Structure 1
Amino acid sequence: MIRGSHPLLAALVERWRPETHTFVLLVGEVTVTLENIAHIFGLPIDGEPVSGWTDSSSDFIQSQSMAIFGREPVLSRNSKSYIKLGWVRCIRDEEPLDTEESIRRYVRCQIFCMLGSILFTDKSIAYAHTKYLPLLCDFERIHTYSWGSVCLAHLYRALCRASRYDSKK
């Protein structure tokens, strides 16, 4: 999050209308489109859907983490479905980058950090959900997913939740 941007974000959230997924401004209604997401983030909007089931069992998370990061995960104390991004960054920064597999591990760590801290962030920005781990297992398929579509859906959902009068997040 950009420092000092809280008043701007609060003003935008106040003007968000969940019924139409638009911001109601003095100039009229505006929204974030799929094309905007593609241009701003450079994400593919065509391709396979980002979907699947989420297994939050510790065995599943351990095996996925070992396959992707080569280590057992450091999970959130509050929710066992979140991995600490600081831990992932340490793994990324310690990679020797001397083999094909270490380069892939580095890239997976970088992508996981981007997913948790930029594209699908929440108020903590210190943890990322483990549901993204299976999508990073097959290195050759990562680029085939429609990341822009799910990013836009996440944005709409987060704005709809934040704009509710009883929201505390």
Structure 2
Amino acid sequence: MPVTGVTMSSQEALEAECLHHFGIAPRKSDCRGSFIKLVWLRDLKEYLQCIDEDSIQRYVKCHIMLLFGMILFGDKSGAAVHWKFLPLLRDFGSIGQYSWGSACLAHLYRSLCRASRFDCKEIDGPLTLLLAWAWLRLPHLAPVPREPHSFPLANRWHNWDRGGGCYRYLSLAHFRKAFDDLQEGQFVWQAYAVDRIEPDTIPPKIYIDSVVWSATVPLVSFECIEWHATDRIT
């Protein structure tokens, strides 16, 4: 199901959704317009006691909203998350049926578009995903992989600081120059080719569903709609 719904700015609607999901509503000082401050959700999550099904669901919803605000759909402040996601969490059993992956990509594509403007100084969005994408295709910029056969593929860099500590001392100017000096052969166009990925690294079920993740379709995340241009690059 598409990740979409109402995005109107309403303190009353925000409070009503929080009361429904958490049994408590944030104060105005705990919000920033239509955004709920992450510190309020963190405190609520610490306070909750998982003693029954309702309290467990509230705890999980808190965790999901923190995940949205901190990693998947974060803004440049990194301190709040929009309440618009809460209505999609009402049916607890249906949360996993939404296309969160495509919504996340839509948010990243929109963030990259905005970051390309000459007057933009910062970028938001799921930057961990962007790093994993870049490190697969620009190996001369990536830390040395520690577990080359792990899946998800991003796991291969989870211990990169142990063997590639020199990367933490490189400046922004270094990487800008590396991009300026980029040669054609330094970009990996087929990152998942047989000679680059061990046959058993990516689970077979991922390839079975390739007709879905390789489709050239619009990616929807509320008011944000971006094309998934798999016919250009994947």
Q: Say whether the 8 Å CA contact 1:82–1:129 is kept in structure 2.
A: yes
Which of 18, 41, 52 matches 1:88? Answer: 41
1:120-154 Cα offsets, whole Å, 9 max, x none, are 11211110011111111221111100000000000
Q: Which residue of 2 aligns with 1:101?
A: 54
Query: Which structure's CA Rg is the greater one?
Result: 2
Per the alignment, residue 123 of structure 1 pairs with 76
Pair 1:110–1:98, CA change in 2 (3 A):
same
CA contact (8 A) 2:32 2:80 kept: no
Instruction: Kindly provide the CA deviation profile for residues 23-46 of structure 1, in whole angstroms up to 9, marking residues without a partner as x.
Output: xxxxxxxxxxxxxxxxxxxxxxxx
Contact 1:95 1:106 in 2 (8 A): yes
Map residues 10-21 of structure 1 onto 2, 5 A cutoff: none
TM-score normalized by the length of structure 2: 0.49
Equivalent AA in structure 2 for residue 152 of structure 1: L
Q: What SS does the corresponding residue of 2:104 show, helix, strand or coil?
A: helix
1:73 maps to which residue? Answer: 26
Q: SS where residue 70 of structure 2 aligns?
A: helix
Q: Which amino acid aligns with 2:116?
A: S
Deviates more, 1:104-113 or 1:68-77: 68-77
Offset at residue 72 of structure 1 (A)? 0.9
Q: Secondary structure at the match of 2:41?
A: helix
Kept after mapping to 2: 8 A contact 1:135/1:142 = yes
1:75–1:82 contact (8 Å) kept in structure 2: no
Between the aligned partners of 1:104 and 1:78, the Cα distance in structure 2 is 22
Give distance in 2, aligned partners of 1:78 and 1:90. 14
Distance in 2, Cα, partners of 1:106 & 1:77: 18
Q: Which runs of 5+ in 1 are unaligned?
A: 1-47
User: Aligned Cα RMSD in Å?
Assistant: 1.7
3-state DSSP of counterpart to 1:68: helix
SS in 2 for 1:83: strand
Aligned residues with identical type, % of pairs: 50
Instruction: Tell me, yes or no, if structure 1 residue 148 matches structure 2 residue 91.
Output: no
3-state SS, counterpart of residue 161 of structure 1: helix
Per the alignment, residue 164 of structure 1 pairs with 117
Equivalent residues of 1:115, 1:128 under 8 A apart? yes
Distance in 2 between the 1:128 and 1:75 partners? Answer: 14
2:38–2:66 contact (8 Å) kept in structure 1: yes
Q: Highest relative contact order (Cα 8 Å, sep 6+), 1 or 2? A: 1
Counterpart among 61, 64, 73 of residue 17 in structure 2: 64
Query: SS at 2:33's partner residue?
Result: coil
For structure 2, the residue ranges without an aligned partner over 5 or more in a row are: 123-234
Q: 2:6 aligns to what SS in structure 1?
A: coil
Whether the aligned pair in 1 keeps the contact of 2:36 and 2:83 (CA below 8 Å) is yes
